[in-house]
Amino acid sequence: MNKKMSLTTKIFIGLIVGLIIGLILNQMGPSDFRDKFLVNGLFTLVGNVFLNSINMVVVPLVFVSIANGAASITDIRKLGRVGSKTILFYLVTTAVAITIAMVLSIVVKPGLGLDMSSLVKTEPTIAAAKPLVEVITDMIPKNPVAAMANGVMLQIIVFALLIGVGLATLGEKVKSIVNIFEQLNELMMKMVGMVMILAPYGVLCLIAKTFTGLGFDAMVPLLKYMICVLVALALHAGITYSGLLVIFTKLNPITFFKKFAPAMGVAFSTASSNATLPVTLETVEENLGVNKSIASFTIPLGATINMDGTAIMQGAATIFISQLYGIELGMGALLTVILTATLASIGTAGVPGVGLIMLSMVLQAVGLPVEGIALIIGIDRILDMSRTAINITGDAICTIIVAKSEGEFDEKVYNSAVVEKSIA
């Protein structure tokens, strides 16, 4: 925890230092030292080593974590009805979340007015709008190895999901393979940790490079992007979650937010759904009146596969980056973003920063330059904290709705005064 906090501080310092260096170099004007040695030399070297390292872990990470996540779904079959309701709720709310974020970003246009295509050599292309039939057939890999070699994310996800379902169905017979996947998952998380050691330096160089080229102009779009994400998170909580709660349970959403706030606070400060899990569970059971039998199943599952806040960031970031590079996304591409980000949320681990790594997969799925992440990674921590609070809120709302429909909910506890003692 301490180590993570210090990495966060380092990334933040990297961002500020990079920003200052970039702005100074921008004011200094062109010189061999600036352009050849720093921008195209040192900054490009360190920045690209960092970007390549992120890319390196994406394919194995997605494959292993999705297969592993799906393999652990054996319990859902047992729980039958509860399982399908929960998963349906998680998937639908995630898709709604991305849609809100994308619509907001398309309307606000945070990325307009800043021309990144001049900085990075990417051909400004129009991502072709594929017909829906093709979008769906293209999800099935003819050759899974080729899909992995070429980083075709949707195909990798489908393959991984099928492997996971197969493992779950075979159960005991393939226990050792399931164990291997669990261990590989640990290994991948370790590798993410190793790559993140580079993050402060990578961020410093990438931000310095960006701001040398763009000067103060780059700051306004970045702020607009942040506001887009934060507003979309607020809308999702205030409209989608509150609306669902009222429609399905007739409970008062204000009571919910009052009593769930401590858990949101922990999620905000740790930026980790996993780390918040014990507090989420306790709050939902003790403060909100959900029976243990439901909460102990839906909350851990949600912390693993339900990431609406992360999906909001991915939706907004994808539109933002497409605007920065002047690449238009057609209807087919937007649909692909919804699909990929929804599925990516299954594979996003509930730990800090993984959502941003998964973003590179969403970008690749619609042919956007992964370099765009460079601009947003510096400010991502504050968004990570905010989206994690929403991630766990989605788990809690779903849990209450499912519990109420199953008669496993105590409305008296929900409406009672807040129990202060429950959060240590």
Residue 393 in contact with ligand ASP, rule: CB under 6 A: no
Site string for ligand ASP, 261-300 (x = CB under 6 A): ----------xxx---------------------------
Q: Single out the residue of 371, 312, 361, 367 nearest to residue 340, CA to CA.
A: 361
Report, in Å, the least distance between residue 176 CB and ligand ASP.
Answer: 29
Q: Which residues pair with 290 in a beta bridge?
A: 409
CB neighbourhood size of 234 (10 A): 12
The enclosing H or E element of 397 equals helix 380-405
Q: Which residue in the set 110, 262, 352, 372 belongs to the binding site for ligand ASP (CB under 6 A)?
A: 352
State how far the Cα of 404 lies from the Cα of 363, in Å rounded to an integer. Answer: 38
Q: Which residue in the set 391, 399, 400, 409 belongs to the binding site for ligand ASP (CB under 6 A)?
A: 391
Is residue 4 within 8 A of residue 364, CB to CB? The reply is no
The stretch near ligand ASP (CB under 6 A) out of 22-30, 68-76, 104-112, 351-359 is: 351-359
| DSSP for 238-299, written as a single string | IIIIHHHHHHHH---HHHHHHHHHHHHHHHHHH--HHHHHHHHHHIIIIIT-B-HHHHHHHH
As to burial, measured by CB atoms within 10 angstroms (0-12 exposed, 13-18 middle, 19+ buried), residue 353 is buried
Nearer to ligand ASP, 89 or 414 (CB): 89
Nearer to ligand ASP, 343 or 354 (CB): 354
Report, in Å, the least distance between residue 198 CB and ligand ASP.
Answer: 17
The stretch near ligand ASP (CB under 6 A) out of 29-37, 125-133, 329-337, 386-394 is: 386-394
Q: Which residue in the set 224, 236, 381, 387 belongs to the binding site for ligand ASP (CB under 6 A)?
A: 387
Nearer to ligand ASP, 46 or 305 (CB): 305
Site string for ligand ASP, 157-196 (x = CB under 6 A): ----------------------------------------
Q: Single out the residue of 86, 14, 232, 156 nearest to residue 6, CA to CA.
A: 14
Nearer to ligand ASP, 5 or 132 (CB): 5
State how far the Cα of 317 lies from the Cα of 340, in Å rounded to an integer. Answer: 14
Report, in Å, the least distance between residue 102 CB and ligand ASP.
Answer: 17
State how far the Cα of 57 lies from the Cα of 110, in Å rounded to an integer. Answer: 29
Report, in Å, the least distance between residue 403 CB and ligand ASP.
Answer: 22
Residue 236 in contact with ligand ASP, rule: CB under 6 A: no
> Where do we find the tokens 């619609």?
366
CB neighbourhood size of 252 (10 A): 14
> E-assigned strands of 21-69?
none
Convert 178-197 to b/e letters by CB count within 10 Å (16 or more is b): beebeebbeebbeebeebbe
The stretch near ligand ASP (CB under 6 A) out of 156-164, 170-178, 318-326, 353-361 is: 353-361
State how far the Cα of 352 lies from the Cα of 199, in Å rounded to an integer. Answer: 13
Residue 350 in contact with ligand ASP, rule: CB under 6 A: yes
Residue 348 in contact with ligand ASP, rule: CB under 6 A: yes
Q: Which residue in the set 54, 307, 333, 376 belongs to the binding site for ligand ASP (CB under 6 A)?
A: 307
Report, in Å, the least distance between residue 209 CB and ligand ASP.
Answer: 24
Interface residues with ligand ASP (CB under 6 A) are 271-273, 307, 310, 348, 350-355, 384, 387-388, 391
